[in-house]
Every structure is written in structure tokens, then in C-alpha cells.
Amino acid sequence: MTQPQRRTKARMRELVEALNGHLHRYHVLDAPEISDAEYDHLFLELKALEEEFGTPPNSPTLRVGAPPAEGFEPVPHRVPMLSLDNAMNADDIRAWGERMARALDRDEPLPLVAEPKLDGAGVELVYEEGRWIVGATRGDGQTGEEVTANLRQLLSVPLELEGPAERKRDRVSVRGEVVLPLAAFARLNRLRAERDLEPFANPRNAAAGSLRMLHDVDVERLRSLEFRAYAVAEGLPADITDQVGIQTQLRDWGFLISPDTARCSDLDEAIAWHEALLARRESLSVEIDGTVLKVDSLALQRDLGELSRVPRWAIAFKFPAHQEHTVVEEIFASVGRTGALTPVAKLRPVFVGGVTVSNASLHNQDEIDRKDVRVGDTVIVQRAGDVIPQIVAVVKTKGKRRRKKWRLPDRCPICDTKSVREEGEAVTRCPNGACPAKIRNRILHVAGRGALDVDGLGEKLVAQLLESGLVKELPDLFGLEVEALLALERMGQKSADNLIAAIAKAKRTTLPRFLIALGIPEVGAGVAELLANHFGDLDLLMAADPEALVAVDGVGPIVAQNVADYFSEGRNQDEIERLRGLGLEWPSIAPRSELEADGPFSDKTFVLTGTLPHLSRSAAKARIEAAGGKVTGTVSKKTDYVVAGEAAGSKLHKAAELEVAVIDEPTLLEMLGDG
């Protein structure tokens, strides 16, 4: 290796260490030291070096990308991930304490640790020699599903354990919960509402669902998640003797720990702490549904042992349900950006989960029929975070007369066009492209920060533009002139100049943002980025058929069909041409196929199976693709190589049957030029 190469490698190590440190300070410690722009500058420098010299396995650039498009492989938990018994009140907790006292033949109080019971998805992270190698769901407690690639998107998951080497055994297994913070939950649901998608019911479902995505990967949602560690199943340093010590060690390794934890001297103190946590539940940043109480002493935990599915030394003290009763005063149809007619229940205002609720989405006619919600009904309302509240069920009173069943209108309530419901769809829509409600919501969507970000263009101004006739279709927005705006009521010269300047700035955008602005169903930030990077050019993307679209890693058949259908419509094609003619433009992107055409793995197809010694599955996939290769999930006659690691399964047998070459990690690295 030459002196310049050594200097470059040293610089890469320096950048990796610095960037991972900044990620930890930002996402775990909440104490950033540099600006986003400075971080981006360092990140791009590292990325440029990696294009020439390869990607280190702990590089932060490996957090970018989509999970592999194949079924989840089983991951056995070497130490079972047990459930917890539930306690619903203080009497249950005292009975649990009495059972432990009898089992230990102990009269003195048992010190306990109280932790918030996080309402998310349990996962296990396995580290070898300090380096993260695999992440898995809880599954049935004995065997989980490998979700390493999806978990890699979580910036609170350390790629390497921090601290001295002697504190990191050969194998360390960390357990914790993946949660969606309430602020991110509210933001994601606002974006889904703008795209006429059904909001997530609660943070837990949104978190768990994102971990199990194979296609149509929602990178934006994954990046919003947090991993909070609470247990060490393997590799705990021998000098740690209590639960508090485990929390300290997890923090020292670089994990995010729930701040709302406490050591309690006895059951009464633990019960009081639980009540105090319940009182401030609404002020917490994440959704919780109770308190987990654990015996602090690890020696006493071992003495108490476990039953078949639960430990005797821990219990979940549950909170009461987050629900209230109210009355449905009216049901009306709201028209969204895509023309979807959404039934909304107007409720008698009720205080639920820290806020006063007066409306609840009923989503579609099928949902109304299933729950049989009618005007005048008493209903149970549930709220999680800032999502539009759900009507959980109708409270039916025997002998009470009910109103007639509610039906979505046959005609759009805004433009009076006959509504339609396509076969196989749950949504009823207004098909009129000129419907004022559709145009209004489209403009608001386009002006949003996630799309073209037209500063100062809010609901009132959009309403003015539509009512005045200055804007009748989306492209009209980008043809506005100052003189026309000055004719609007309460529109001064400065306000008009500012709006025109904001529109001019929005015209200079990026291809992913333009795709988001178009409002194609199911195309959010993550999918837009994948499509833009794959095709590089809007015209190539518009000409792609569903087969070409589904070949993009992270794009599934539903999204592919939606994209193809959108670009095949003449009205949409004309609108795009008008927008481009009005000056909307973006920098060109070199398509991935061109970047990789001359790589050493060009035209080669690989399949990964088992656990590799050093490379994670997503890291190996990224290295192969960077060299021009393709990674698939199924072994066939078209497969060139199967890369096999420890515990390789049926794919290895299939390779033998088809006489496909099988290689190990060292051979792969040698082929990549690392040998």
C-alpha cells in the first residue's frame, strides 16, 4: 500500500469515527456538536472516498438504502425473549411481592427498579467483538425474524459498542424496544393525510409494521424510529450485579436508555412511582402503557428463576385504557387531494389522552359498515399521540332507537360530480380533476416542506387564489405574476413580491421532491429517492412499465403499478409538461445502472445466506451492488454465486442442486479487491 493510500485509509477511519460520534450525540445524547451542513460535508467526503476504496463495515453510509427484497430469515434467540405477567392494580403488585417473598423465604423489602413499559416492538441486537452483526424481532420468544437491514436505518442503533475492549465480550446480546416518538408519529400522520392515506392507528403499530417491510420501504418512517435498550441477555461484564448497573453499562456502550427510570426501596415506593408516571404520561415523548418492575439484584433474579414463559422477578404494571365515551353529532364527507371521499364523525367534544377531541376519521364506507356507526350513537373514542382519533366501537343500548345507516354521497359534496368506487378498492372518489377541493389540497401538498416548500403559501392564501380564479389548476400557481396578486384583498406589494420569490425558489428543486409533489399514491420521500436514483431522468421514469419499476430495490408491485398508472394518464403527462414549461427544473442524476456498468461484478447475480463473520447482510449487499452486481433472494439457474455464512439454510442445498458456485466471505472480499 502506497503512502497516499495509507493517508486516505486513515482519513476514512477518522471520518467514520467522527460521523458515528456525531450521530450518537445527536440521536442518543440529544447534544449535537456540529450543524447539519457540517455533518453533510463530512458525510459526502466519506462517501466519495468509499466509491474508490470500498465501504468499511461500520460506515454510517451503510445506513442509507433499502432492506433486501426477500423473505425474513429465522434467527434463534440463544436466550429466550420472555413475556411478562401483567398486574392491573396495586393489589396485584402486592400479591406478586408476596409470591417472591415466599419463594426467597425473605421478610425484608425487595429493592426494585421501575422502568416505563414502552409501547413498541421488542428486538434483539447481537454484537460480536463489539461490532453489530444481526438484529431480530422477538417472534415467538424462541425464534425471531432477521430485520437487520431495516434496523440499520435507526440512527440510535450503534454500529459498534463504545468503551474499552474488556467491557465488550466476544458476543453481546442487547434487548430493547423500537418505538416511534409521538412528535414523529404526528408528523408522519400529517404527511399521510396530505397523501390521502389512512393514518397509522398508533405508534406501536407504525413501529412494528415498519420493521417488517420488505417492499415499498418507508425509509422516512424507519428513520423516525428510536431503539431504547433495557436488557443484556449475553455478554454482561461479570462485575455488574444489579439492574441499575445494566442500565449504566448500556448507556456506556452507546445505547439510548429511557430517562424515566428509578430505583425503589420497596413495593409501596414502586406503586407510588407508577402513579406519578401515570400522572405525567401525556408529557412523555413516547407512548407507554404501564410500568415494568424488576427485582434490582441479579443474584435474587437468578434465585427466583422463570416459569415457562415469564420471569418471576419482573412484572408489567399496566395503565388503564386510553379511551373515553362521547356522542356522534354528525357525519360528513371530506374530499382529499386525490378525490377520496372520507367520512368524518363530528363528535361532542371530549377530553382524551391530553387533548379535546371533536372529530374522528371513519376512513371509508366499509369501515362505517363494519362498526355500524350512526349519527346519535354513543361511541368509544381512542386516541394515541396526535393522530386523528379512532372510533373503537359503538356502545349499543337495548331498546334505544337509532338513526338510519349513513352512506357516502353519490355525488361529490364540493363539485356535485358523480362519485365512483373502482372494483376492489375501499375508497370512493370524486373523478373530477377540476374539483376545487382536490386542487386546494394538491396545492397545499405541493407547497409543503416535504415537496416543493413554497414559503408563505398557507390555507387562507390558497383559498383566496382559488376563489379569485387566479389559480384553477396546479400549473397556474407557477405562472402567477405580482400584478395579478396585487388585485387580491389585503395583498400588499411586499407580500406579493415575497410569494413570487418563494414560487421562483420552489421551481429550482430536485427530482425526488418533484416526484413527491406530483402526489402519486404511496410515493413518499423514500420511494421517490429510490426511483430518482435508479432512473436518473424523469422521461425514463415516465416511460417505465410496471416490470421495470418493480425491479427497483425497495419498490413493490403495488407502488410500481401506481407509478405506471399515474404516468400513463394523458392529463398527468400534460400537467407535467406545463410545469416544466413554466420553469420547474432539477439537477440531473447519473442513473445507478451507469455508475455500476463497469464494475467487477457487472452482470453477476448473488444470493446471500446465513450469517457472515464480519459483514452484515446489508453491508454485503451494498458492497456487491457498488461493484455492479445484483443481489436477489432466490437461488436459480441465473444465479452466479451464493455467498454462504454460518447457519446457511435451504439456499445452500438449492445451490448444490443447480451447481451454482458457493463462496464464503473471504472469497467475496478477495473478489472485491480487499484481499
As annotated, the active-site residues are 117
β-pairing, 630-632 vs 378-382, is unpaired
Comparing C-alpha atoms, which of 97, 90, 171, 87 is closest to residue 129? 171
What is the phi/psi pair of residue 605, to 5°?
-115, 130
Residue 571's CB is within 10 A of a number of other CB atoms, namely 9
Strands (E), 169-277: 171-179, 226-234, 262-264
Residue 485's CB is within 10 A of a number of other CB atoms, namely 21
Comparing C-alpha atoms, which of 664, 643, 669, 647 is closest to residue 655? 643
Long-range pairs of 182-188 with CB within 8 A, sequence gap ≥ 24:
182/284, 182/285, 182/286, 182/287, 182/385, 182/386, 183/285, 184/224, 184/225, 185/224, 185/287, 185/384, 185/385, 185/386, 185/387, 186/385, 186/386, 186/387, 187/224, 188/220, 188/221, 188/224
Residue 422's CB is within 10 A of a number of other CB atoms, namely 10
C-alpha cell at 563: 407509478
Beta carbons of 356 and 350 less than 8 angstroms apart: yes
C-alpha distances (whole Å) from 111 to each of 118, 248, 370, 622 are: 22, 17, 49, 48
Beta carbons of 85 and 316 less than 8 angstroms apart: yes
C-alpha cell at 99: 409470591
Comparing C-alpha atoms, which of 54, 219, 227 is closest to residue 153? 219
Beta carbons of 530 and 66 less than 8 angstroms apart: yes
Judging by beta carbons within 10 Å of its beta carbon (0-12, 13-18, 19+), is residue 384 exposed, middle or buried? buried
Bridge partner residues of 263 (DSSP): 113
Q: Return d(Cα 211, Cα 500) in angstroms, integer.
A: 42
Q: Return d(Cα 443, Cα 476) in angstroms, integer.
A: 10
Helix axes of 182-194 and 203-211: crossing angle, nearest 10 degrees = 80
DSSP 287-335: -EEEEEEEESBHHHHHHH-B-SSSBTTEEEEEPPPSEEEEEEEEEEEEE
Q: Return d(Cα 548, Cα 418) in angstroms, integer.
A: 35
Helix axes of 570-581 and 557-568: crossing angle, nearest 10 degrees = 70
Instruction: For residue 414, give every residue at least 6 positions away whose Cβ sits within 8 Å of its Cβ, in sequence order, or none.
Output: 335, 430, 435, 436, 437
Judging by beta carbons within 10 Å of its beta carbon (0-12, 13-18, 19+), is residue 601 exposed, middle or buried? buried
Comparing C-alpha atoms, which of 23, 105, 98, 123 is closest to residue 63? 23
Q: Return d(Cα 267, Cα 277) in angstroms, integer.
A: 15
Convert 314-335 to b/e letters by CB count within 10 Å (16 or more is b): bbbbbbeebebebebeebebeb
Hey, what's the torsion of the CAs at 240, 242, 243, 244, to 10 degrees?
Answer: -80
Q: Is 429 helix (H, G, I), strand (E, B) or coil?
A: strand
Q: Within its chain, how far is the Cα of 147 from the centroid?
A: 13
Q: Is 533 helix (H, G, I), strand (E, B) or coil?
A: helix
